[in-house]
């Protein structure tokens, strides 16, 4: 797409929106301005291509399409079939997967599809055996009653939240924690790394139905071959949530033992983050689970979003291009440079560095909580998110960590030299921020003090750093 075409497309779209609700058009324009001027270091965010963005704004949004390709509950879905089939085809080829299901609306939805597919395939309820049914759509009310009773005894073993796991891996605030009897494996207190022997020991003792690999805040590679061997040793289904690092798998930065697709029975992911597509989810699986996975709608999903599936097809096609592999490698190079820049300035990093796209800073060394650090950085034009660190004394709300990632800045073209400059900006803000106190004089985990002039100076420096790497240079909304 030419730059003139990009500008015309988005400018025209905003004119149409403005005629109906100008405040929405203004907010969209303001969001582009904010993203252009801020150092986006949120590890789970990225910038989708203009083609991917435009694929979401069309008439596919008007279609209901429950079911799957060729088996819809609504008529007139032939064009939806085309884009869904294309997205699934690109996913299979990109990841070397036997089967791909591209309907999930998010990573949580993808995980729910995976959980229910495994349960429906593996449940050992006497009532279900007697009924001799294996497909979710065949279950009677009596079967469902028996299944619900059985669910309390289903077990999941996944990475603990403070070690870098995710809420959807069996934690109580999430539905997965209500579906499963969950136990967590952590990391070695001395190194912050996964201790596979301890995972194996926990699996032998707990005997989970599902062993979950994957993370949202673990800055190292994971050996999925070893985890599959552990799962096999206790008869567990091995599931991997690769939402954060799917782009590194697609770009062949993670291969062999570190590529989950050849080793897992079922793999879930988002399609944004490091994969750089639209917000959405996806499930990849072995053939024996394909029928169950394809029943995600209406099993747990509402109607598919055909316009988002169209955008997934575009983004996955982009990820199959040779330049995506270069992009994925630069994500990791930049993350390592950012980590080295922080370490050289005295920051404390969980595991002492990174092998992937993210860096986890323990900000307690600066005398701050994660919440204080997050807001002080935001005041300074640096967008991050607070995150727990292993054995975090401040819990999951205030935290003791800041998670930073490089996918978005790498998309803009920043390189290792700019990562060192970014480390300097982060370190300056954190060293100049002091923890505040509550009204009664007790230490506050939220309040902080940062000189407004310094925050403005850092924000200007961040904007200057980004000036050489314009975001969406082909789009001019003026």
Q: Which of 279, 371, 386, 403 is catalytic?
A: 279
Of 30, 31, 28, 33, residue with least CA distance to 10 = 28
Is residue 241 among the annotated active site residues?
yes
Is residue 40 among the annotated active site residues?
no
Tokens coding 450? 């940062």
Tokens coding 7? 């500008």
Is residue 68 among the annotated active site residues?
no
C-beta contacts of 464-471 below 8 A and 24+ residues apart? 465/39, 465/414, 465/418, 465/421, 465/422, 465/425, 466/36, 466/37, 466/39, 466/412, 466/414, 469/409, 469/412, 469/413, 469/414, 469/418, 470/36, 470/412, 471/32, 471/35, 471/36, 471/47, 471/412
Tokens coding 401? 């960590």
Is residue 3 among the annotated active site residues?
no
Is residue 181 among the annotated active site residues?
no
99 labelled as ligand-binding?
no
Q: Which of 8, 37, 45, 66 is catalytic?
A: 66
Q: Which of 241, 259, 294, 355 is catalytic?
A: 241
Q: Which of 11, 18, 37, 64 is catalytic?
A: 64
- Can you tell me the distance from the alpha carbon of 380 to that of 299, in angstroms, rounded to the nearest whole number? 45
Of 10, 112, 38, 53, residue with least CA distance to 318 = 53
Q: Which of 36, 40, 273, 412 is catalytic?
A: 273
165 labelled as ligand-binding?
yes
Residues 6+ apart with CB under 8 A from 285: 97, 98, 99, 101, 114, 117, 265, 266, 267, 293
Q: Which of 269, 270, 354, 433 is catalytic?
A: 270
Is residue 15 among the annotated active site residues?
no
Which parts are annotated binding residues for (6S)-5,6,7,8-tetrahydrofolate? 161, 165-167
Which parts are annotated binding residues? 161, 165-167
Q: What are the residue numbers of the active site?
A: 64, 66, 241, 270, 273, 279
């Amino acid at each position: 797409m030419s730059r003139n075409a990009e500008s015309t497309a988005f400018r025209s779209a905003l004119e149409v929106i403005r005629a109906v609700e100008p405040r929405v058009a203004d907010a969209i324009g303001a969001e582009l301005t904010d993203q252009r001027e801020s150092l986006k270091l949120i590890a789970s965010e990225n910038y989708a291509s203009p083609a991917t963005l435009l694929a979401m704004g069309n008439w596919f949004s008007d279609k209901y399409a429950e079911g799957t390709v060729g088996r819809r509950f609504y008529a007139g879905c032939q064009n939806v079939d085309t884009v869904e089939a294309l997205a699934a085809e690109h996913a299979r080829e990109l990841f070397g997967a036997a089967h791909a299901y591209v309907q999930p609306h998010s990573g949580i939805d993808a995980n729910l599809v995976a959980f229910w597919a495994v349960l429906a395939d593996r449940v050992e309820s006497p009532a279900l055996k007697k009924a001799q049914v294996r497909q979710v759509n065949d279950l009677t009310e009596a079967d469902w009653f028996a299944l619900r009773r059985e669910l309390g005894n289903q077990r999941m073993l996944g990475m603990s939240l403070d070690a870098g796991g995710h809420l959807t891996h069996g934690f109580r605030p999430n539905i997965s924690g209500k579906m499963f009897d969950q136990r967590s494996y952590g990391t070695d207190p001395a190194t912050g790394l996964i201790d596979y022997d301890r995972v194996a020991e926990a699996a032998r003792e707990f005997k989970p139905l599902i062993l979950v690999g994957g993370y949202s805040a673990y800055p190292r590679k994971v050996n999925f071959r070893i985890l599959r061997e552990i799962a096999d040793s206790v008869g567990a289904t091995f599931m991997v949530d690769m939402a954060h690092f799917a782009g590194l798998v697609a770009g062949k930065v993670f291969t062999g033992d570190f590529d989950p697709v050849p080793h897992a029975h079922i793999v879930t992911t988002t399609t944004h983050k490091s994969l750089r597509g639209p917000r959405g989810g996806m499930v990849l699986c072995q053939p024996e689970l394909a029928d169950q996975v394809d029943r995600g709608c209406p099993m747990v999903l509402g109607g598919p979003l055909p316009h988002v599936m169209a955008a997934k097809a575009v983004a996955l096609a982009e990820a199959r291009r040779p330049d995506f592999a270069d992009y994925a490698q630069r994500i990791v190079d930049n993350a390592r440079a950012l980590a080295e820049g922080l370490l050289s300035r005295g920051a404390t990093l969980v595991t002492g560095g990174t092998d992937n796209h993210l860096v986890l800073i323990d900000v307690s060394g600066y005398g701050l909580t994660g919440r204080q650090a997050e807001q002080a950085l935001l005041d300074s034009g640096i967008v991050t998110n607070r995150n727990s660190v292993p054995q975090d004394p401040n819990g999951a709300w205030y935290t003791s960590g800041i998670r930073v990632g490089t996918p978005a800045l790498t998309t803009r073209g920043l390189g290792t030299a700019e990562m060192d400059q970014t480390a300097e900006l982060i370190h300056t803000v954190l060293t100049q921020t002091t923890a505040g106190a509550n009204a009664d004089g007790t230490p506050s985990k939220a309040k902080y003090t940062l000189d407004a002039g310094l925050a403005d100076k850092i924000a200007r420096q961040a904007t200057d750093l980004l000036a050489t790497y314009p975001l969406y240079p082909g789009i001019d909304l003026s």
